[in-house]
Amino acid sequence: MANKHQHIFAEDMTDDMCQFALKTSEEAFHLTINKGQVFTAIASYIRRTFEKTYGRGWNVVVGRAFGAYVTHEIKTYMYFTVIPGVYVLIWKA
């Protein structure tokens, strides 16, 4: 489901988790944009999907502009985009 707009800016995840994050985010944007929902709904979808697959404790930020400084568990951090101008930050604390 890769697209030309996907770009990973920073990551500390396994390759499988990175691919899962990209796939899940693509799904979230597709499902919520069709319903006219906002970034909070996208973040919620990504978080719920990650917690079903990788356990509890995930945090997700989705938006056009934000600053962040987080502490994360090893191999549980990714900052990326799948839609031009909209960014996703995922980490487990």
Q: What is the pLDDT of residues 16-36, one digit of tens each?
A: 999 999 999 999 998 876 666
Q: What CATH number did the domain enclosing 60 receive? A: 3.30.740.10
| Three-state secondary structure call for residue 1 | coil
Would you say residue 39 lies in a domain?
yes
pTM (predicted TM-score): 0.90
DSSP state of 82: E
Would you say residue 1 lies in a domain?
no
Would you say residue 32 lies in a domain?
yes
DSSP state of 75: T
Give the range of the structural domain holding residue 85, as residue numbers without chain letter: 7-92
Mean local confidence (pLDDT), 1-18: 89
Would you say residue 2 lies in a domain?
no
* pLDDT at 36 (0 to 100): 62
**HSE (side-chain half, CA atoms, 13 Å) at 79:** 11
- How would you class 16 by CB atoms within 10 Å of its CB: exposed for 0-12, middle for 13-18, buried for 19 or more? exposed
Which amino acid appears at position 27 of this protein? E
The structural domain count of the chain equals 1
